[in-house]
Amino acid sequence: MSQTFFSRLEERTQASGSLLCVGLDPHPADLSEFTPAAAKAFCLKLIEQTVDLVCAFKPNAAFFELLGPQGWQVLREVIAAIPPQVPVILDAKRGDIASTADAYSQSAFEQLGASAITLNPYLGHDAIAPFLKDAAHGVFLLCKTSNPGAGDLQDLPLAGSNEPLYLQVARYAQEWNQHDNVGLVVGATQPEALARIRQAAPGLWFLSPGVGAQGGDLTLALRNGLRSDGLGLLLNVSRSVARAADPRQAVIELNAAIHAEQVKLTAQPATANPISPILAEGLLRAGCVRFGEFTLKSGLISPIYIDLRQLVSYPDLLTEVGRAYLPILRQLRFDRLAALPYAALPIATAISLQSGWPVIYPRKEAKEYGTRALVEGEFHSGERAVVIDDLATTGGSKFEAIDKLTDAGLQVQDVVVLIDRQSGAGEALAQAGYRLHAVLTLTDLLDYWQSAGRIPLEQIQAARAFLHV
């Protein structure tokens, strides 16, 4: 059997010690004169300066096409000048069906000599199939791109699941990857989407533009996009290298930065339940966790403040929070979700919309009119309720809620929260015969933010000392 595209790519990563793909984009602004000869010279010089240091090259077809028929010939000559052991990804974003797709495939692989190509998957599998016939040739499907308008279509929710369309593209890519030659284009400017797609497609290679001129965070891209083997992420850089005073030195520095992050990530011990970067980053972004000086109700000055009521203003993050409860809840026996007012009400609603489990909630106080109910929503005596809350601190509010639920005839055994502050709630609940389950602990979050360099170390240490964690 011939070598597959991605086995070849992995060999190249080992030989070069790099995850970088350098874009060959002869933009008119970068040339002294916009001519075929100038474009060719520009690309050949960039190849010569970096070829031994990078994993792949990615010529952008548009800038060559702009030069007319001679530009197409230059593109072919530039690809031919790249050593055969170095993969060449043609950035053409093709997408068509039947004989047209087959013609595009022959053009890219046979006429131009590219190793792989970027494709638009929105016409379906028959538009991709002609490019997959030979396992030695690869494709990267546009999944979650780096441009500002990417979400116009790619973030549209799917009926029934409310998941974004780009996740379905990732799942289709896995199905179509029968010959180890299907990857995804996922922008480094979309770190939360990068993490979600990696969860949905743990084994695929990603081509990730956006680090450098577009402002993508290198550390987050690596943390969220690398596979467990430290590979699977091909970082594309174009302008930040081509326009550098010394392109070779720019690549050397990028390789060093990438290697340093790889060492950090592989040095971290594996955990049974690794923290979701989507949640850890999202909680900071939404202001649900803040660092500084905050006066608490007790009068104490705290270096950290957690306020998950902010989630209601961030529907995407709220959806992710709801989804994060599901693995725990699916292991428990219950009939209804019992949400504690107020922060847990939107969380339980997000869980319900994704799972179909009905929600009830114990009121903080009985109504003085109407039914005077202590528990709102439909339920029947003898049913099991699982308590849903945002935080667990000492457990006091949980006991108050459980008393109201049991007084109404419901059975309670389990409490599930997003964050356990590790301040005694688990122990207190266990002594009373209840079980506490947490999606995250505060230690998990502090460890993540410290290792990711998201929060200054002195603030992390102050929070640990204050919380005794």
> Is the pLDDT higher at 75 or at 315?
75
Pick the range with the lowest mean pLDDT from 17-26, 43-52, 350-359: 350-359
Please provide residue 114's backbone torsions phi and psi, each rounded to the nearest 5 degrees.
-70, 155
Average pLDDT over every residue of 173-195: 91
For residue 185, which amino acid is it? V
How many CB atoms are closer than 10 A to CB 253? 12
Cβ-proximal residues to 41 (8 Å cutoff; 6+ apart), any chain: none
Q: Domain 5-267, what fold?
A: TIM Barrel (3.20.20)
Pick the range with the lowest mean pLDDT from 99-103, 120-124, 279-283, 338-342: 279-283
pLDDT bin (cut points 50, 70, 90) of residue 371 is low
Our answer to whether residue 93 is catalytic in this structure is: yes
pLDDT at 69: 92
The active-site residue out of 40, 93, 144, 364 is 93
Maximum average pLDDT range among 45-59, 177-191, 387-401: 45-59
Do 46 and 237 meet the contact criterion of CB atoms below 8 Å apart? no
Cis omega before residue 166 (within 30°)? no
pLDDT at 298: 66
pLDDT bin (cut points 50, 70, 90) of residue 224 is confident
Nearest to 384 by CA among 314, 334, 328: 334
Whether residue 273 is predicted with pLDDT greater than 70 in this model: the reply is no
Determine whether 67 is exposed, middle or buried from the number of CB atoms within 10 Å of its CB (0-12, 13-18, 19+). Answer: buried
Rounded to the nearest 10 degrees, how much is the dihedral formed by the CA atoms of 283, 422, 267, 456? Answer: 50
pLDDT at 265: 67
CA angle (422, 427, 433) in 5-degree steps: 140
Which residue has 């109504």 as its token pair? 367
Q: What is the share, in percent, of the chain residues with pLDDT greater than 90?
A: 67
pLDDT at 270: 43
Q: In what order do the strands lie in the sheet with 56-59?
A: 56-59, 20-24, 233-237, 206-209, 182-186, 138-144, 116-119, 89-94
pLDDT at 372: 65
Alpha-carbon distances, residue 112 vs 78, 106, 182, 208 (angstroms): 9, 9, 20, 23
> CATH 3.20.20.70 occupies which residues in the chain?
5-267
Beta-sheet pairing, 359-362 with 375-376: antiparallel
Alpha-carbon distances, residue 342 vs 122, 390, 440 (angstroms): 41, 9, 20
pLDDT at 452: 79
pLDDT at 1: 44
Pick the range with the lowest mean pLDDT from 57-61, 126-130, 172-176, 315-319: 315-319
* H-helix or E-strand spanning residue 6: helix 5-16
Cβ-proximal residues to 427 (8 Å cutoff; 6+ apart), any chain: none
**Over the stretch 7-37, which tens digit does the pLDDT of each residue have?**
999 999 999 999 999 999 999 999 989 999 9
Pick the range with the lowest mean pLDDT from 128-132, 180-184, 188-192, 400-404: 188-192
In angstroms, the CA 74 to CA 79 distance is 9
In angstroms, the CA 196 to CA 105 distance is 30
**Over the stretch 312-346, which tens digit does the pLDDT of each residue have?**
999 888 988 998 898 899 888 899 999 999 999 99
Do 289 and 449 meet the contact criterion of CB atoms below 8 Å apart? no
Do 389 and 398 meet the contact criterion of CB atoms below 8 Å apart? yes
Whether residue 297 is predicted with pLDDT greater than 50 in this model: the reply is yes
In angstroms, the CA 371 to CA 367 distance is 7
pLDDT at 456: 92
pLDDT at 10: 92
pLDDT bin (cut points 50, 70, 90) of residue 362 is very high
Q: What is the CATH code for 277-467?
A: 3.40.50.2020
pLDDT at 269: 45
What six digits make up the tokens of 24?
Answer: 């060959």
CA 4 to chain centre: 26
Nearest to 443 by CA among 425, 462, 419: 419
Pick the range with the lowest mean pLDDT from 95-109, 120-134, 196-210: 196-210
Distance, first Cα to last Cα, the chain: 54
> CATH 3.40.50.2020 occupies which residues in the chain?
277-467
Do 52 and 267 meet the contact criterion of CB atoms below 8 Å apart? no
pLDDT at 436: 94
Q: Which residues pair with residue 294 across a beta bridge?
A: 302
**Over the stretch 107-119, which tens digit does the pLDDT of each residue have?**
999 999 999 999 9
Q: Kindly tell me the sign of the dihedral angle through the C-alpha atoms of 222, 225, 229, 235.
A: negative
For residue 24, which amino acid is it? L
Average pLDDT over every residue of 128-134: 96
Do 298 and 312 meet the contact criterion of CB atoms below 8 Å apart? no
Q: Which residues pair with residue 438 across a beta bridge?
A: 417
How many CB atoms are closer than 10 A to CB 31? 15
Beta-sheet pairing, 20-24 with 56-59: parallel
Average pLDDT of the chain to the nearest whole number: 90
pLDDT bin (cut points 50, 70, 90) of residue 99 is very high
Beta-sheet pairing, 301-306 with 289-295: antiparallel
* H-helix or E-strand spanning residue 359: strand 359-362
Reported pTM: 0.66
